[in-house]
A and B are shown apart, each in its own frame.
Chain A
Amino acid sequence: MEKLNIEIVDTIDTSNVYAKLSHAHSGGICVFIGAVREFTANEEVVALEFETYKAMALKEMHKIAEEAVKKWNLNSVVIEHAVGAKKIEEPVVIVGASSAHRPECFDACRYLIDTLKERVPIWKKEMFKNKEVWVSAHP
C-alpha cells in the first residue's frame, strides 16, 4: 500500500526522508532536494522568502502525488516544501519516490518537482542587497 507524505513546514528535515520512503516492495528510492542558491544571474541573493496559500497548496501536492503513484506504481511519495525566510544553502523543498525498480522512481521524482513548480501555490521572493523581487511575476 502506498503512503503519501505531504507537508508544508517551517524547516525541512532531510534526515528522516529514508524512513518515509523505505518500503518492503521498493528496490529504488530517488530524492530531490531544492536549496537556496547564492547567485541569480550574477546577482548576490541574501535570502529567499516563501509564502503559500496552504489549503490549496496541500490539495495540489496531494493531487500531484496521486498522479505520480498511479503513473509509476510507487510505493511511497514525499513532497515537503518550506515557508518563511530561508538563507543560502538551506533546503526549501524535498520530493522523493520509491518503487520496485529505479527507472520509475527517477522519472517520478522529476515529475514531482517539475509539476510542483508549475502548479502549487507557493511564491518565492528573492532578497538582494538593494531590492526584493517576486520570482516569475513579470515577463
Chain B
Amino acid sequence: MNVLFFGIARDIVGASELTISDLIKNPTVNDLKEYLIAKYSDFSKLTSFAVAVNSEYAKDNVPLERNDEIAIIPPVSGG
C-alpha cells in the first residue's frame, strides 16, 4: 500500500511517499504504526503521530484497505 509522509515524518523516512508491501495481512492503523516504529526508530522519539485514512484521522483499530489514501500525520503545528 502507498503511504504519504509529511513534515518530520517525511524527513525520518526520506521520502514523501512509500509503497509498503511487507505489512501483515489485513493490517490496521496500529499495525502500520508498529511497523514504522520498528523500521524507523526515530518515530518513537516523536511526541506522537497519527494516521489519516482517506484524509480523516483514523483510530488504531481501523482496518487499512489497499486503495485507501493513507498518510502519516506527525504533531501538527499550524498557526
Contact = CB atoms under 8 A, between A and B. Distances in A.
A134 B47 contact: no
Contacts of B55: 53, 55-56, 59
A136 B77 contact: yes
A109 interface: no
Contacts of B32: none
B78 A137 contact: no
B3 interface: no
Interface residues of B, number: 20
Interface stretch (A13-21, A69-77, A97-105, A117-125): A117-125
Given A93-B78, A93-B79, A117-B78, A137 B8 contact: yes
A-side binding surface: helix, strand, loop or mixed?
Answer: mixed
B74 interface: yes
Interface string A72-95: 000000000100000000001100
Interface of A: 34, 50-53, 55-57, 59, 81, 92-93, 113, 116-125, 134-139
